[in-house]
Amino acid sequence: MQRGSSRRRAAVIRVLVADDYPVVRHGLKQIFAETPDIVAIGEASSAREVLAQVRAGTCDVLVLDLSMPGSQGVDLLERVKRERPRLPVLVLTMYPEDQYAVRVLEAGAAGYLTKESAADELVQAVRKVHGGGRYVTAAVAELLAARLDPLAGRPPHERLSNREYQVLCLLGRALRVKEIAQELHLSEKTVSTYRSRLLEKLQARSTAELIRYAVVNRLVELPRPRPAPRAPSAPRL
């Protein structure tokens, strides 16, 4: 009996849920609660909490939002992979596939899923990455195919480094150099250097043209709206 119990416990996939919104974490845990072979063993609301729990080594899969306090874009993913290279990371984000999917997969993520499709695909995705596979939607598969095709024309922003891409997206939100420096924990001089590289690589003549490029190519990362509180139900008469 004891051996059988050990095998059953070993079959359960332990998931760490990382998102800065409590309502999102609660929703994800509810999905896992209805699945016999997956259990949410912890949650994290910041980059610091993610790294602390990853170092503890108690999870089998990390479900990670891209926008976490204390880290931006793919930075946190890269830090996680340095701590635990073999830990499968499923990125679950509000950003559409064409903005970040290829970049996070190249940075070591095992899958990419948007929150719009989480309710239908999350369980399948967790099982797939835990088994050593990669989980990508049809849209992501097309992006990867285009990336691998040497004859396919790639837009200039796909050839940027991850940090250059981050700076471009933040410029697209009309943030000033000082604000970008604070957002990315860099010096203003370093951000100005990245902006100069962007002007050269994208053949732009001004910051305004960089902003226009980001908007036209749908690279603008707008601040995420907070989940709206539920309206109180009308009293019964």
Task: Give me the residues paired with residue 91 across strands.
Answer: 64, 112
pLDDT at residue 24, rounded to an integer: 92
Residues 167 and 160 sit within 8 Å (Cβ to Cβ): no
Residue 54: which of 28, 71, 79 has the closest Cα? 79
Q: Quick check: 65 and 75 in contact, CB under 8 A? A: no
The chain-wide mean pLDDT, for the chain, equals 83
Mean pLDDT of 182-189: 90
The answer, yes or no, to whether residue 235 has pLDDT greater than 70, is no
DSSP 124-187: HHHHHHHTT--B--HHHHHHHHHHH-TTS---GGGGS-HHHHHHHHHHHTT--HHHHHHHHT--
Mean pLDDT of 46-74: 91
Residue 107 near residue 77 (C-beta atoms within 8 A)? yes
Write out pLDDT tens, residues 19-29: 999 999 999 99
The confidence band for 168, taking pLDDT boundaries of 50, 70 and 90, is very high
The per-residue pLDDT for range 70-88, each reduced to its tens digit, is: 887 788 999 999 999 999 9
State the pLDDT at residue 232.
Answer: 40
pLDDT for the residue 233: 45
Long-range contacts of 135-144 (CB under 8 A, 24+ apart): 135/90, 135/110, 135/111, 136/101, 136/105, 136/111, 136/112, 137/97, 137/112, 137/113, 139/97, 139/98, 139/101, 140/97, 140/101, 140/102, 140/105, 140/112, 143/97, 143/98, 143/101, 143/102, 144/102, 144/105
pLDDT (tens digit, 9 = 90+) per residue, 169-179? 899 988 999 99
Matching residue, tokens 């974490």? 25
Percentage of the chain beyond pLDDT 70 is 84
Contact assessment for residue 227 and residue 23, using Cβ atoms and an 8 Å cutoff:
yes
Q: pTM for the whole thing? A: 0.65
List pLDDT tens digits, range 99-113: 778 888 888 999 998
Q: What letter does residue 68 receive in the DSSP assignment? A: B
d(CA 212, CA 14): 44
pLDDT score of 149 = 55
- With cut-offs at 50, 70 and 90, classify the pLDDT of residue 1: very low
Q: Which residue has the higher pLDDT, 6 or 184?
A: 184
What per-residue confidence (pLDDT) applies to 98? Answer: 72
Domains along the sequence of the chain with CATH = 8-147 (3.40.50.2300), 156-216 (1.10.10.10)
